[in-house]
Amino acid sequence: MVEEKREKLKPGDTIGVCAPSGSFDCELFEQGLGVIRDMGFQVHVPRDLGRRKRYLAGNDRHRAGMLEALFLDENIHGIICARGGFGAMRTLPYIDYGLVKKNTKPFVGFSDASALLSVLEERCSCAVFHGPVVTSLARASRRTADSLFDALTGCVEAFPVKSGRVLLPGRAAGIVSGGNLATLCHLTGTAFQPDFNKKILFLEDVGEVPYKIDRMLSHMKMAGVFSGVKGVVAGSFEGCGSRGMIDEIISEVFDDLEVPVLAGLDAGHGEHNLCLPLGGRAELNADDHSLRFF
Is residue 121 flagged as an active site residue? Answer: no
CA distances from 264 to 43, 116, 144, 235 (A): 33, 24, 15, 5
Catalytic residue among 62, 77, 130, 269: 269
Q: Which of 23, 68, 77, 111 is catalytic?
A: 111
On whether the CB atoms of residues 94 and 127 are closer than 8 A, the answer is no
Give the up-direction half-sphere exposure of residue 197: CA atoms within 13 A in the CB hemisphere: 4
Q: Is residue 141 annotated as a catalytic residue, yes or no?
A: no
Amino acid at the residue 101 = K
Q: Catalytic annotation on 269?
A: yes
Report which DSSP code applies to 127.
-
Mention every residue, 6+ apart, whose C-beta is less than 8 A from residue 9.
Answer: 15, 41, 77, 78, 106, 152, 153
Catalytic residue among 204, 208, 283, 290: 204
- Collapse the DSSP code of 150 into the 3-class scheme (helix H, G, I; strand E, B; otherwise coil) and give the result: helix
Question: Distance between CA atoms of 204 and 232, rounded to whole angstroms?
Answer: 11
Question: Which residues are known to be catalytic?
Answer: 111, 204, 269
